[in-house]
Amino acid sequence: MIKVTYYQPNAPDPILDNNEVLKIVKKYVFDVSTVDYVDETGGEARAYSIDNKVILKIQRPHRLRSKTSLEKEVFFLKELEKYKEIKVPYIYGYGKDSNIEYICMTKIEGKALKYLELSHVQRERILFDLGKNLYKIHSIDVKPFLDSKLFPKDENYEVVVSRLRDGFNAKLNGLSNIDHSEKKYAEMLADKLLKQIVKVDKFVTIHSNPAVSHTFVNDNFEFSGLIDFGDALISHPVIDFKRWSLDDRMLMLKGYFSTSEISDNFQNILNVTNSLDNIIEILKNNNSISFIKDLKELLYE
């Protein structure tokens, strides 16, 4: 797996003048007039909203890294243009002006799920549709992505196992007030679970972080689209579910497999993934995991 390294951490990162933003955007969209606001929430990029219909996404110079790439995001979204039913931004243009690297694209309708208060029924419907969208993304031909050389690829099951282990360890280390002996027992359970993965039969192009900040919902509380493909890679589909809680993940999986059956291999990897996260949930709720004596007790369905 790629180690995250920022290439120019001390580079200046000024907010562009509105006239400069409009000058770039008008290369691709002529009838624009106003910069509505600047979104500073992105880690590697800053987004400018123009006339509430266009987004100019600018790479933050001090956050430039190999893992994240605007060029990669453009390639992904251009490939997705072939599939009109997949709800993602449309690319107007991509380029570099002196030291500025940017994407000009449509603005997805609505707000990020992160900022919304939803009923269970609304959330269930939105996550079901997000799952369907992810299935369509995972189903597209992976060959163009491999040929582009832009997308990191997990070469074998060991790398997928390593991703799952690293994610588990990060969550475990983030827990406070848990006895060392309990954490060691949790690590032992995790090791036994991960040894159950000895094969991966499916590698696809994944978003890698289709989480609440990147999932958009319109005013009718319907799923309206997925943004931010700059961290995309080629791996097992289950990695795209890792940022979600177990309950949300199950809602997404209902949509994901609403038109296709789950293979035995996928089910095994999913069971291991869910069980790993269930260890963390049990520790959060009980401060203990040592009362678990059988891995079957960890299965979350």
* Structural domains of the chain ordered from first start: 18-106 (3.30.200.20), 111-298 (3.90.1200.10)
Going by their DSSP bridges, the two strands 100-106 and 215-217 should be labelled as unpaired
Question: How far is it, in rounded angstroms, from Cα 43 to Cα 38?
Answer: 14
- pLDDT digits over 36-91, tens only? 999 988 778 899 999 999 999 998 764 555 667 899 999 999 999 999 999 999 99
The average pLDDT across 15-34 equals 95
**Which residues lie closer than 8 Å to 80 by C-beta, 6 or more apart?**
86, 88, 137, 140
Question: How far is it, in rounded angstroms, from Cα 79 to Cα 89?
Answer: 12
Residue 9 in this model has a pLDDT that exceeds 70: no
pLDDT at 98: 72
> Which residue, among 265, 269, 238, 232, has the nearest Cα to 253 in the 3D structure?
238
Please report which confidence band the pLDDT of residue 97 belongs to, taking 50, 70 and 90 as the band edges: confident
Identify any residues that bridge with 37 across adjacent strands, giving them in sequence order: 49
Question: How far is it, in rounded angstroms, from Cα 292 to Cα 85?
Answer: 44
How big is the chain, counted in residues? 301
pLDDT at 1: 46
Question: How far is it, in rounded angstroms, from Cα 216 to Cα 222?
Answer: 8
Q: Quote the percentage of the chain above a pLDDT of 70.
A: 94
Please report which confidence band the pLDDT of residue 174 belongs to, taking 50, 70 and 90 as the band edges: very high
SS3 state at 116: coil
- pLDDT digits over 243-252, tens only? 999 999 999 9
Cβ atoms 262, 254 nearer than 8 A: no
For 26, counting Cβ atoms within 10 Å of its Cβ (0-12 exposed, 13-18 middle, 19+ buried), the class is: middle
Region of poorest pLDDT, from 10-14, 72-76, 161-165: 10-14
The average pLDDT across 177-195 equals 97
Cβ atoms 140, 248 nearer than 8 A: no
Residue 299 in this model has a pLDDT that exceeds 90: yes
Region of poorest pLDDT, from 7-16, 99-108, 244-253: 7-16
pLDDT at 88: 98
Please report which confidence band the pLDDT of residue 161 belongs to, taking 50, 70 and 90 as the band edges: very high
Cβ atoms 49, 55 nearer than 8 A: yes
* Mean pLDDT over the full length of the chain: 93
Q: Whole-model pTM?
A: 0.92
